[in-house]
Amino acid sequence: MQFRSTQSNKVLVSFKDALLRCLPLEGGLYVPTSVMDLRQFFFYMDTDTDYPELVATVAPPLLHGELNPFSASRVAQSAFAFEPELQQLDERFSLLNLYNGPTGVFKDFGISFLAAVMEELLKNNRRGLCISATRGDTGISMAQAFYQRQNIIACLLYPLGSIRGLDPDTFMGNGGNIIPIQVQGTFDDCQRLVIEIIKDRLFAEPYGITTANSLNPGRLLPQAFYYLYAFIKLKKQLKGDLLFSVPCGNFGNLIAGLYAWKFGMPAQGFIAAMNANNAFGGFLNGAAFTPHGLIPTVSPALDVSVPSNYERLLSFYEEAPAVMRNMVFPASIDDRTTLEVMDKVYKHYGVCLDPHGAVAFAAAERVLASHDRADEDPHVVVLATGHPAREAETIAKATGQTIVMPPKLGVLKRKLEPMAIIKPHLDALEGAIASCI
């Protein structure tokens, strides 16, 4: 599979180059060009197939010539000590629970694969440094995924006050390969610094600097795997259409679903579930995109006013606007409905959804009610992206239920000291990196 920039199709690069460079020199974001048809591989998989097996089966044909079956198997085994879980509720709904990783959020799936595949691709070769801006969770997920990876260092940039949940034994200098740096500024400063350092080729090349933010196609592509997993688990029983309902913030997850569909997964549609921050709804219905101001809600991970994957989504719509309008159904869910649905789902199915999953569930119900599809009722897979324990207060408010924090997630709150504290300038960041390594 080759990648091009969303802004030009002149230069094509391999998966490895897209992963290691992260941003195309000519501007824009990397998107896959060739479309792989994986359908023949679906026959070999069924309800007994576990997640690492699925990943090891589909990664070699997707990354043709770059990852052989042995490497793919090694990557899948070392990335996935946790699995997605498909929970069928009834004829109409299933949940795809994606919160069993180390931080209780679906982002663990992309980050874990990125770290494992990066180690494999850099084998016997050069070193790599993966740098990311984080308010907390991405950093924790990265520290877990990158710890002790050969030839790779992970550098985490935190805004003031938000560093937590790491183990100092994993830090560079204490025998580890993790460098947490606190930036005296905001999260936006951290994100800006990541882009600036990647673009400073003279500094970045010798260190092999790339990022694990969702700009990186090496993190986005593996998110397609859990959509395939849901399909494989359900395929024998499907009678009508298959839809996915995805809670959308930066729209990376939705785009990964569209990739899975491009790879041959027979889905009939995707529900783009948003909270009150729904500036994208108009765009998905064919209007120009006009960002709104940010509205705080009970589903904070979806509070995004300008989704960072805008260009990737746009490139789907530029290719085939009519197809996309028949594939992607936007829905905006307000806080009151979100809380009501949490209560309703608990009473009806005995399942506690976190507010992000609840937004997706409510959006699925709304879209089903407004679409009269012929024949059989469609089946909707609702993506449960966050562990309920992370939003225990909201769940208690909505359902009256008390959620106990699993010990594994308890460490997320632990406070600690960074290895360096810097001013929000590129020079300061480069100086800190040079002195830590």
Ligand X SMILES: *Cc1c(COP(=O)(O)O)cnc(C)c1O
Which region, judged by CB under 6 A, interacts with ligand X, from 34-42, 57-65, 251-259, 402-410? 251-259
* Strands of 30-32's sheet in order across: 8-14, 2-5, 30-32
Q: How far is the CB of 359 from ligand X (least distance, A)?
A: 9
Contact 224, 38 (CB under 8 A): no
Binding flag, residue 259, ligand X (CB under 6 A)? no
User: Does residue 387 contact residue 404 with C-beta atoms inside 8 Å?
Assistant: no
Q: Which is nearer to ligand X, 16 or 356 (CB)?
A: 356
Contact with ligand X (CB under 6 A) among 218, 247, 257, 424 = 247
**Of 202, 125, 214, the residue nearest 434 (C-alpha):** 202
Residues 6+ apart with CB under 8 A from 297: 275, 276, 277, 303, 335, 338
Cβ atoms of 268 and 242 within 8 Å: the answer is yes
> Quick one: 153 or 255, whose CB is closer to ligand X?
255
Q: Which is nearer to ligand X, 3 or 251 (CB)?
A: 251
From the CB of 341, what's the least distance to ligand X, in Å? 15
Count the alpha carbons within 13 Å of 396 in the hemisphere toward its beta carbon: 9
Q: Among the candidate windows 157-165, 167-175, 231-239, 241-249, which touches ligand X by CB under 6 A?
A: 241-249
* CA distance linking residue 236 with residue 396, whole number of Å: 37
Query: Residue 172 Cβ, how far from ligand X at the closest point, in Å?
Result: 27
Considering only residues 23 to 52 of the shown chain, the ones binding ligand X according to CB under 6 A are none
Residue 214 CB coordination number (10 Å): 25
Contact 218, 114 (CB under 8 A): yes
CB under 6 A: which stretch of 53-61, 249-257, 335-343, 399-407 binds ligand X?
Answer: 249-257
Distance CA 126, CA 98 (A): 33
Q: Dihedral (C-alpha) 166, 169, 174, 180: value to the nearest 10 degrees?
A: 0
Instruction: Note whether 385 binds ligand X by CB under 6 A.
Output: yes
Q: Are 147 and 174 in contact (CB under 8 A)?
A: no
Of 176, 208, 330, 386, the one binding ligand X (CB under 6 A) is 386
Total residues in contact with ligand X, by rule CB under 6 A: 14
Tokens of 369: 């009610």
Residue 111, interface with ligand X (CB under 6 A)? no
Which residue's CB is nearer to ligand X, number 68 or number 87?
Answer: 87
Q: Does 110 sit near ligand X (CB under 6 A)?
A: no
Bridge partners for 5 per DSSP: 8, 30
Q: With binding defined as CB under 6 A, does residue 249 bind ligand X?
A: yes
Does residue number 102 form part of the binding site for ligand X (CB under 6 A)?
Answer: no
Q: Six-digit token pair at 380?
A: 């909707």
Contact 384, 97 (CB under 8 A): yes
Q: Binding of ligand X at residue 251 (CB under 6 A)? A: yes
Q: Is 388 in the site for ligand X (CB under 6 A)?
A: no
Which of positions 338-377 make contact with ligand X (CB under 6 A)? 356
216 contacts ligand X (rule: CB under 6 A): no
Could you say which of 165, 252, 330, 388 contacts ligand X (CB under 6 A)?
252
218 binds ligand X (CB under 6 A): no
Q: Which residues pair with 181 in a beta bridge?
A: 157, 420
Q: Pick the stretch among 69-77, 227-235, 250-258, 367-375 that binds ligand X (CB under 6 A).
A: 250-258
What is d(CA 365, CA 329) in angstroms, rounded to the nearest whole number? 12
Shortest spacing between CB 355 and ligand X, in angstroms: 9
Residue from 253, 275, 277, 399 binding ligand X (CB under 6 A): 253
C-alpha 94/C-alpha 345 separation (Å) is 12
CB 329 within 8 A of CB 271: yes
Residue 139 CB, nearest approach to ligand X (Å): 13
x-or-dash pattern for ligand X, window 294-313, by CB under 6 A?
-------xx-----------
Q: Cβ closer to ligand X: 105 or 115?
A: 105
In the complex, the smallest distance separating the C-beta of residue 144 from ligand X, rounded to whole angstroms, is 16
Of the residues 6, 250, 277, 332, which one makes contact with ligand X according to CB under 6 A: 250
How far is CA 170 from each of CA 155, 326, 419, 426, 434, rounded to the nearest angstrom? 12, 48, 11, 25, 18
Contact (CB, 8 A) for 133 and 190: yes
Which of 1, 105, 155, 198 binds ligand X (CB under 6 A)? It is: 105
Q: How far is the CB of 424 from ligand X (least distance, A)?
A: 24
Q: Which two tokens stand for residue 109?
A: 């799936």
Chain residues that interact with ligand X, rule: CB under 6 A = 105, 107, 247-253, 301-302, 356, 385-386
